[in-house]
Structures are given as structure tokens and as C-alpha cells.
A and B are shown apart, each in its own frame.
Chain A
Amino acid sequence: MSAVSSSNWDRRSILRAAVGLAVAVPLAACGGNNGRGAGSGSGTQLTQMFHAYGEAGTEQAVKRYAAAYEKANVTTQWITSADYESKLFATLLTKNAPDVFEFHPQIQMVRSGQVADLSDLVDPVREDFNPADITSHTVDGKVYGIRMIDDPQFFFYRPSLFEKARVKVPETLDELIEAAARLTTGKVKGVYLGNDLHAIVNPLIWSAGADTLDAKNEIAYHTPAVVEGLKKMRKLFASGHLLLGAPTDYWDPSSLSQGLCAIQFCGMWAMPQFQKALGDDLGVFPFPKTADSGKPSVYNGGWSMFVNAKGDHVDAAKEYVKWLWIDQKKDQEDWATSYGFHIPPRSSIAARATRLKSGLPAQGVKLFDEFGHFDNIGWTQAMMSATWDVIADCVREDGDPEAALDKCDRAVNRELKKLFG
């Protein structure tokens, strides 16, 4: 009996310990995980939030820049999850919201008063910025974000495989589909567009001669050429020549560099990694024209700095952003060219960026200049997610493109009505 009772006792004490742990662990996490714990006392505490860049050294770089700032203690939150925007949106509603964060220009953040007006920071150096990068951050004459880097997105391919399959660089979507077929072998798929294809939605629209929204902020993507493009995309999806279910998504260079595909849609940021893996066996081309009426396109994405207008230290945060992203030109250059390749939005820095002046990087810059489309601040996350549903409905699933676009129209119009009345 004694054995039984003592084992009972053990079980109980273990249970008690387990309950204690279960209570203590989240409490401890609450204490240490709010991103404000690390600073060492004096001065204002600021928190900045970044999504996790894939290139080695980026996290250290961001922390190094922050550590050099003397007027405040800046702590960095490095968000590794895939849905940075959801994390950011949710955190901004809480007390733990970052004072400074990176994101893309989206008008709903301006309308809901979440981002501060940074016009006074930008105005003195306005001329130095790429005008498109100012326009894309402006609402009613006020500038709400400071562009850090411009990231053109286009196709990377391996010329050696093209030569072997006797394929030339595709200039239309039809040619891309044909090239994919000829490049596909037992082990290598023709093209990789990302696992869920969301990255090519905007290029597909632009290359069809359409746009997301027009100048009056009305739907401009619902055109016959876009429908045609979606039908072609479905053909490519179902052909078996598209790489699907890859271990890494489109923004990571692994699929092409590890030989899973011959062409990959990716961004300028990954160019150094591609070059390291493939050497000279690397070329780039823009998203080819979807229909005859269209023109090749490149999405000039990128990241910008914003100040949380509802934070406790708006002025200190603005001062920090001015210091780092306006004044510290050396850091800005380092950020744009030392890890991944990005195009500096300021011409004075772009002029100094020798790494982007020759070879393949220069070709990337040329695509950016020639075919680039910048963000439209009126095109918000909810609208993007509606267009992702279009891809899901009529490319990944065999649905009717018209019906999918109608559904998208309803969602986008609901947003537009809320934002612009």
C-alpha cells in the first residue's frame, strides 16, 4: 500500500509542479517579451518593428544602427512569422504597439490615425527622393512614411537551361507558358511563381495594360485582358510545368538556386544569393505582357518607415526616424546594398551605390526604371487579399474568372466606400 500512496504523492507533486510551471511560464513571458525590457535605463524607450529579412546580417545591422542612436534606447522587434501585416495590425491596437515600424503605404492606416504625418522630416530633402516614392506615401499633401528601400520584383532564370532547351527569353505570357513546358524535365520544373501565386497578381494586371485602381480610386483591374491573363495562368497552373508546394516561398532564392526550377519569380533583394549560388548562369526579365494590348511590368515594392501616431513618444520616434532614415546616409547605403540588393530611393545614395552600377544589378535597376509600377496608397491590404482570392478561385481552382473578379469587385468596393465615401 505504501508504494501506491507514495506514487500518488509523486503524481500529485508532479501535477502541482506542472500547474506551477504552466502559470509561471506565461507570466515570465509577459514580463520579458514586450520588447521594452532590454534598454538600460536612461533616456526614452523606443520600440521598432521589422519583418524578418531573409538575408544574413540584416537583423544585426538594424540593431547596430539603433544602438548608435544616443537620444533614446531603441529596442528591435524582429518578426519572423509569415504574416507580418497581421501581426503588425493587431499589435498596433495594443499598449505594446511599436513606436516605429516598417510597412508599405496603405491609406487605411492614415484614415484610422495610426501613422503620423512625417512631412516636416521629408520636406527638406524631398528633392533627393524618387518622386514616385514621395507620391506613393502622400495623402492630401502630407507625407506619411519614409521609403527605406525599393525592391523591384521580376523573373530570374538560368541561361544554360534556356540554351539546352532552345528557349528564348519570353516576351509574352504565352511564350512563358511554352518555355515552361520545354524547360520541364523529370527533375526540374519550368517556372516557380511562389506556392500560392499571390506575388504575380499585380504584375499580371499591369502586364495586361490595366491597373489596380485608376486616378479616381475606382476599380481598374476588371478588364477583358486581365480575364484573358487569368485564363492563361490557369492553363500554366494545370500544365504540370509549374513548381508547386516548394519548401520555400517565392521571396527565397532556394527554388532556383537548388535546381527545382529553371525560372523563378523573385526580387532584386535575392540577387546576391542567386549570384553566389549560380555565378554567371543567371539572367533577369520582367513579367511578360499578359495580352497583346499590354506591356511588360515590374512591381517596385519595398519597405518604408512609419511612426505610430498613437504611441507614447511620437516626437522622440520622429526624431529617431529622421536621424536614421534621413540623416545617416552611410547606414542607408549599407542597408540597401550590403545584404540583399535594394535600390536606394534617394538619388544621392543611389549615385554612390557602386554595387548596382554594373552587370546584373544594373540590369535590375534598368527593369525598375523602365517597367516599374510603384505602390498605390489607396490599394489596401483588404483589397490585396480580395485579389488573392481571385487567384485561388480561378487559377488554383478551376473557376470562372469573371465570377471571381465580380466577387473581388464587391469586396474592393466595400473597402473603397469606407475609405473614399
Chain B
Amino acid sequence: MSTTTKAALAPPAPAKTRPARTRRGLRGSRAFNFWLFISPFLLGLIVFIYVPIGWSVYLSFFDARFTVTPSTFIGFDNYTYMLTDPKFVHSLGTFTVFAAFIVPTTWAVSLGLALLVHRLRFLRAFFRSVFFLPTACSYVAASLIWKMSLFSGVRFGLMNTVIGWFGSDDVAWLASPDPPWYWLVIVTARLWLQSGFYMILFLAALQNIPGELYEAAAIDGARRGWQTFRHITLPQLRATSTAVVLLLLIAAYQAFDEFYNLLDKTTWGRPPLVELYYTALGQEQDYGAGSAGAVILTALIVLVTLFQGRLMGFGRGEESK
């Protein structure tokens, strides 16, 4: 409280800012505030993220079957096992196919939606909300709807009803990998769930492009449509595009819910997280091998992200525009 009196003696000029600072007194130190604001998040981060990661690394060097407090150290055996396990290696392949398809498709669909909504003169808020709403739906709920009503294999499934009008036989969309209809189910579910969110990001970026640029381009003789889009809009969206691609890639790496819920007891269509779930938490209860797989996967994600950041200049701020 003594600090208050000191404040009263202060010269008038900085007095405007002083009371606020001195009111906090000793606690006003930057370091204290830093830790005050950071610590809840840091604590959460340590307890829920870093400790589990550390534990996982620890487990990956042990023979941990049916236990998370193992005692038999086995060195790199789990890593050798995972890297020579055709299922795990195959799951990385599955992920690559999935990412190679879903990332550009979602990027294009959400950009397309954003351009359409951006050009609307009325009902813009309505359409923005309509396209954004699926984001609020859970992957599990959507997967169940996709599996049981849209793409159910029986005659009254929605898709089978539709193709039935054209005289086609019922298709069991999720039963067999040949033809791989299950990708259609997975990709459409994910597009429906994701596109709206990325559309909002693109919409914000579109609204940030100064109108003068388009005016200048028009004066220089640029035709509206493709030419303006190719040379003005797209370059202006570069930073957002980079961020969106990065987020999509991470989301693809994290893909779990729809694969897990749509495909039962398959040996195909299993991205790494699903494979690791079955290894560690599912039937096998092999926490050692599962953790080794998780560490390998984390290393891969870090590598790809760094590489992509270097390639596309994400995080370099203004200059990347």
C-alpha cells in the first residue's frame, strides 16, 4: 500500500500512466505477469501434453504388454518391430493417399465456396452460416449418419435408393476394398465437415484484399474473372493458403474418427492413428510398440511441417505475402 503514496508524489507528466502501473505495485513486474498469465496454460500443457509424450518415449523402449508401468527394457526392438510391421508401414501409405487427395480437394472446395459467398450481395451471412454449420458436428456423429443412412449397403440406404433409380444394383459401400468405394464415403464425410471452416478463413482473407488492387488491375486492362483471380486474388491469398494447407495436412495426419467408425475389422483404409490405436489401446494392448509408432509418427509430422514451412514460407510474416 505504501506504493500508493509514492505515486502521489510523482511528477504530473507521466501521472496519466503511472496510477495504473503502481496500482499493481510489486506485482506489476513483467516477469510476474508473464508467469501469472502463462502458468495455467503451461501447467495444462505440461500435464496433458509433455508428460504423456515423455511417458510415451519411455514406454517405447520397454516391453509393455497390458501395462503402462513396464519393467523389461528392450532397447530399440519396438522401433524395429513397428518399422518392419507391414500394417504400420502400409498405414503411412494410406495416409499419403488420403492426404494427397483430401488436402487439395478441401482447399479447392473451401476456396470455391469462399469466392461464391464473397460475391453474394444479399443473404451472405445466411450462406456463411449454412456452410459453416457442419463444422459444429462431431466426426463420430457424421460417420454414423454416413454409414447407417447415406451409404448403408441395403436397398433403403440413400445412395442405393438414388442409384436404384438408374437401375443399378445395391452397392455395399463399406464392405470391400475392391472397388474402393469406402474412400468416397470417407472423403465426402470429411469434405462436408471441414470445408465450411476453411471457407471462413478464405472469406476473411478475401475481405482483406484492398479494392484498389482490383481497380488498378482493371485500369491496366486485366479482364475480370480468371485473369484477375490468377494474378490478383490468388497471390494475395498466399499466406492464408499456406496456413490452410498446413492445417489440412495436420488434420489429415490426425484423421481417426471417421476411419475408426466407418471401417470395421479391415486391413485397408487405416491411417497411422487408427493402426496405433489398435496396437496400443485395442486388441493387442502393446503399449511399447504403440508408443514407438507414435514417436515415429511425431518425428515424421515435425519433419514434414518444417519442410513445408521452408518450402512455402509459412511464419515468415509480411514478406511471405
Contact = CB atoms under 8 A, between A and B. Distances in A.
Contacts, number: 91
Contact of B172 (A244, A247, A392): A244
B173 interface: yes
A240 B282 contact: no
Contacts of A388: 265
Contacts of B266: 196, 392, 396
Nearest to A108: B66
Contacts of B256: none
A114 B65 CA distance: 12
A388 B268 CA distance: 12
B177 A381 contact: no
B14 to A, nearest CB: 27
A198 B282 contact: no
A195 B175 contact: yes
B264 A195 contact: yes
B152 A237 contact: no
Contacts of A247: 148, 152, 154
Contacts of B173: 245
A69 interface: no
Residue from B151, B157, B176, B178 whose CB has the most chain A CB atoms within 10 Å: B176
Interface in B151-196: 151-155, 157, 169, 172-178
Contacts of B65: 108, 112, 418
B68 A93 contact: yes
Given A198-B265, A260-B154, A391-B265, A398 B175 contact: no
Interface in A87-139: 89-90, 92-93, 108-109, 112, 114
Interface string B27-69: 0000000000000000000000000000000000000011110
A245 B169 contact: no
A401 to B, nearest CB: 14
Contacts of B278: 385
B242 interface: no
Contacts of A260: 154
A384 interface: yes
A24 interface: no
A246 interface: yes
Residue from A93, A198, A384 whose CB has the most chain B CB atoms within 10 Å: A93
B154 A243 contact: yes
User: How many A residues are at the interface, by size bracket?
Assistant: 35 or more
Contact of A246 (B86, B154, B176, B265): B154
A21 interface: no
Interface string A225-243: 0000000000001001001
Contact of A237 (B86, B151, B176): B176
Contacts of B151: 245
A93 B67 contact: yes
B178 A89 contact: no
A97 B173 CA distance: 38
B267 interface: yes
B215 interface: no
Contacts of A246: 152-154
Contact of A393 (B267, B281, B283): B267
A382 B281 CA distance: 11
Nearest to A419: B65
Contacts of B174: 195, 245
A381 B154 contact: no
A287 to B, nearest CB: 19
A389 interface: yes
B283 A382 contact: yes
A96 to B, nearest CB: 14
B152 A382 contact: no
Contacts of B284: 381-382, 385
B94 interface: no
A393 B176 CA distance: 10
Interface in A378-421: 381-382, 384-385, 388-389, 391-393, 396-398, 407, 418
A398 B177 CA distance: 9
Contacts of A89: 66, 281-283, 285
Residue from A187, A196, A244, A384 whose CB has the most chain B CB atoms within 10 Å: A244
Interface in B260-303: 264-268, 278, 281-285
Contacts of A237: 176
Per CB-CB distance, the 3 closest pairs between chain A and chain B, nearest first, are A245-B153, A244-B172, A244-B175
Given A89-B283, A237-B176, 16 more contacts: A83-B282, A85-B283, A89-B281, A108-B65, A114-B66, A195-B153, A195-B264, A196-B264, A198-B265, A244-B172, A245-B153, A245-B172, A381-B284, A382-B285, A389-B267, A407-B86
6 contacts: A195-B174, A260-B154, A381-B283, A385-B282, A385-B284, A396-B177
